[in-house]
Structure 1
Amino acid sequence: MAININNLPNTAQVKNDKVEQNTQRQQTAVQQNATQGANQKQDSVSITPQAQQFSKLTEKASNSSGIDQEKVEKIRQAISEGKYKINVEQLARRIVHFESELFGKK
């Protein structure tokens, strides 16, 4: 049996048509994605003033040594001049309180 190839459509033309169809589909998809992207909101982050203040205070605390040098110098000077007075009753209460917390007794 013989096949008549003269009546077949031009395969080059069929391929070109398919390429054009695929190109159009891709362009349509790109346009749809672009319009969807334009309609979507962009993500954003905003920090409240309280959070900003907290961040600054945290940074300041981490950079601090935790020792009030001015207070230390005043006490040192008062001791060297003999003017520093110790409240022995308050000291005793605080020692008892500390030991009770330390050993779990009240």
Structure 2
Amino acid sequence: MAINNVNNNGVNKTPLDNNKVGSQQNQNQTAVQQQAAAKSQTVTAPRQDSVSLTQSAQQLSQVQKKSAEAPFDQEKVDKLKKAVESGSYRVDPESLARKIAQLEAQVFGLKS
């Protein structure tokens, strides 16, 4: 005696057709392979990297260029270097403080 439709709550289900299932699986595999081939053949443009500088970075760059081009007295630098090395160079603290205050006034736009 054959028992059909056990645990189907009385609903008749059609039996699976193995040929049909195999055909659908083959179609799905073919579609996936075609998509992969199309994706690999798609030519993508090389990515272009870019850099943008903030306004303050641009200003800093300009200041650095100007300072590199600024002339200086090499003879004076050598003389000061020898004085520091020999220990004969003395700093006047009042003059230094006055010059620092003047520089800050120029930088921050204050009156000295």
What is the TM-score of this pair, normalised by structure 1? Answer: 0.39
The structure whose residues are more often helix, as a share, is 1
What is the TM-score of this pair, normalised by structure 2? Answer: 0.37
